[in-house]
Amino acid sequence: MILSYKFRLYPNRAQAAALDGMLVAFCDLYNAALQQRIEAYRRQGRTLRYADQAAELKAVRAADGRLAGLSFSAEQQVLRRLDKAFAAFFRRLKKGSKAGFPRFRAKSMFDSSEMRVGDGLTLRKSKRLGVVGIPGEIKVKWHRPLPENAKLGAAVLSRSCDRWFVCFQVELPDVEPRQDFAPVGIDLGLSALVALSTGETIPTLQITRNAAAALRRRQRKLARAKRGSRGRKIARRSVARFQAKIAAKRRDGLHKLSCELTRRFSHLAMEDLNVKGLARGMLAKAVHNAAWSTLAGMIRYKVERTGGVVVLVDPRGTSQTCPECGLVAAKALAERIHRCECGCVLDRDVAAAYVILRRAGFQGPGTGLGTPSQRVAA
């Protein structure tokens, strides 16, 4: 099992400038490699591969003093990054979808570099980070320890809003399956972010809505700033940092919720939603704010880490089906209470969670309808 552990870095001014320079050099290498591929095909009809360009890397390093002082393996990863972009382009072209030819990258948008632990990047005894081409050791905020029995593979250095991070890919041994059986059905929604087959509902995080006024003020200030001025640069940075703060708060709330669910339940049933399709409709803003994909991804990897099971079911008709008798009856989106001829009266989202649980085939204590206290009064 491979997990990612992300930590904040605190470089000093000289180190931050060197890290910025490293990304600029890697961006130039990426763009030069892309230009070489374009020219080779245009003039000779030849398609260059990673191996062709990697064979020339030593000569390129000798001609460019910036690259000569940086990690060779990190520069290879830059070429692999371009190779993956072309592989994705040809894959989309073959499918007949919008291809999207690989584009040249702006220096301000090239904000990450992959390295190998023990090669371009090392963990020092001082618990600080050593990076080839960067002076001294970089301070790391270890907000949680790395697993003792883990194998460190790749690491990604990234920059976001003038802040630096390192993300380690950690390989862990497979865990033993959980011996308990605590199933639950989960329905993701907008009025309630999560509805459980236990009868509980968890409201949607209103982080974006609560911060909307403050974000608009910053965006207006950015719009009024003169292009190319120092004030516009400061305003752009203020907007980016505020948006990053909102995203961090959302991730924190989703992490806490997913941890609670995976701690309480061993077998989780969820809908296999097409979130991209839903995000193109009239409720796009609400869908993005709810962050269903992020929450579902967190639940899946945390369940795997604890030895649990996640089953994805067909989402069609879950909110139109009665969990007691199975009768399918169309309901308008405004109807928030499920009422059936058989006498079943439940919160609409909770009823959908029961249906999801049964579609997953989880049977056992607590998987049927709950006590009368879990029902919604008519």
Concatenated DSSP letters for 77-123?
HHHHHHHHHHHHHHHHHHHTS------PPPTTT--EEEEEBTTTEEE
Indicate whether 130 pLDDT > 70: yes
Q: State yes or no: is 349 an active-site residue.
A: yes
Q: Report the pLDDT value the prediction gives residue 96, as an integer from 0 to 100.
A: 85
Give the separation between CA 371 and CA 368, rounded to whole angstroms: 9
**Residue of 83, 114, 271, 347 marked catalytic:** 271
Q: Report the pLDDT value the prediction gives residue 58, as an integer from 0 to 100.
A: 94
Q: Report the pLDDT value the prediction gives residue 280, as an integer from 0 to 100.
A: 64
Mean pLDDT of 20-48: 95
The answer to whether residues 163 and 34 touch, using CB atoms and an 8 Å cutoff, is no
Q: Report the pLDDT value the prediction gives residue 287, as an integer from 0 to 100.
A: 66
Question: How much helix, strand and coil, in percent to the nearest 5, is found in the chain?
Answer: 45, 20, 35
- Which residues are CB-neighbours of 353 under 8 A, at least 6 positions away? 184, 185, 186, 187, 195, 196, 197
pLDDT digits (tens, 9 = 90+) for 192-205: 888 898 888 888 87
- Which residues are CB-neighbours of 149 under 8 A, at least 6 positions away? 172, 173
Burial bucket for residue 165 (CB in 10 Å: 0-12, 13-18, 19+): middle
| Residue 172 pLDDT level (bands cut at 50, 70, 90) | confident
Question: Which residue is listed with tokens 């607590």?
Answer: 366
pLDDT digits (tens, 9 = 90+) for 107-120: 988 999 999 998 88
| Residue 305 pLDDT level (bands cut at 50, 70, 90) | confident
**Residue of 187, 200, 252, 335 marked catalytic:** 187
Indicate whether 277 pLDDT > 70: no
pLDDT digits (tens, 9 = 90+) for 320-361: 888 878 778 777 777 778 778 787 888 888 888 888 888 888
Specify whether the backbone of 96 is left (phi greater than 0), alpha (psi in -120 to 50) or beta.
Answer: left
Phi, psi of 71 (to 5 degrees): -70, 125
Query: Closest by alpha carbon to 298, among 258, 356, 250?
Result: 258
**Half-sphere exposure of residue 353: CA atoms within 13 angstroms, side-chain side:** 29
Indicate whether 233 pLDDT > 60: yes
pLDDT digits (tens, 9 = 90+) for 74-109: 999 999 999 999 999 999 999 888 888 999 999 988
The answer to whether residues 141 and 8 touch, using CB atoms and an 8 Å cutoff, is yes
**Chain mean pLDDT for the chain:** 86
